[in-house]
Amino acid sequence: MKYWSLLVWVTQFGFSVLFPVCFFLLLGSWLQNSYGWGQWVMILCGILGVLTTVRTVSSCIRSLRKEAEEASDREETPMAFNEHE
DSSP reduced 3-state for 80: coil
Residue 79 lies in a domain: no
Report pTM.
0.71
Residue 81 lies in a domain: no
Alpha-carbon distances, residue 11 vs 20, 31, 66, 73 (angstroms): 15, 30, 17, 23
pLDDT in tens, 16-44: 889 999 999 999 999 999 999 999 999 99
Residue 28 lies in a domain: yes
Residue 45 lies in a domain: yes
Total number of domains in the chain: 1
